[in-house]
């Protein structure tokens, strides 16, 4: 932490050494600020692209859900129409599938 504070502190003076030191410190500070700015814009762009991809997937899921719901509703209507046309009746059991166990 002290090294960071040392870099940020500018020493005011008229000699060439202090001007070079201040110029170096200011250059490093500006470089890091530019680096952070570019990194944040790239990360924001990445989030926007991901959001756009997710929106596409959600739209596809919604459309497939609507299509499946329409199929289910059509089947339900067909089932109700079939039930209304034919009265309910029991089917005779298949004798081959019945096993009879006799006890003594």
Q: Would you state the pLDDT for residue 73? A: 93
Cβ contact 10:26 at 8 Å? yes
Per-residue exposure over 32-61, b if at least 16 CB sit within 10 Å of its own CB, e if not: eeeeeeeeeeeeeeeeeeeeeeeeeeeeee
Higher pLDDT, 68 or 83: 68
pLDDT in tens, 11-67: 655 666 676 777 887 888 899 999 999 999 999 999 999 999 999 999 999 999 988
Distance between CA atoms of residues 90 and 33, nearest Å = 81
Model confidence pTM above 0.85? no
Q: From the DSSP assignment, how many helices (H) and strands (E) are in the chain?
A: 2, 0
Q: What is the dihedral of CA 58, 62, 63, 69, to 10 degrees?
A: 160
pLDDT at 74 over 90: yes
**pLDDT category of residue 82 using cuts at 50, 70 and 90:** confident
Task: Return the SS3 of 58.
Answer: helix
């Amino acid at each position: 932490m002290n090294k960071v504070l040392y870099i940020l502190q500018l020493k005011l003076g008229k000699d060439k050494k202090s001007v070079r030191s201040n110029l170096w410190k200011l250059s490093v500070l500006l470089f890091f600020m530019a680096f952070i700015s570019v990194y944040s814009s790239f990360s924001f762009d990445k989030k926007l692209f991901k959001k756009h991809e997710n929106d596409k997937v959600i739209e596809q899921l919604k459309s497939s859900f609507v299509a499946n719901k329409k199929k289910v509703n059509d089947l339900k209507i067909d089932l109700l129409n079939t039930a209304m046309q034919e009265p309910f009746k029991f089917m005779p059991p298949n004798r081959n599938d019945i096993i009879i166990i006799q006890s003594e």
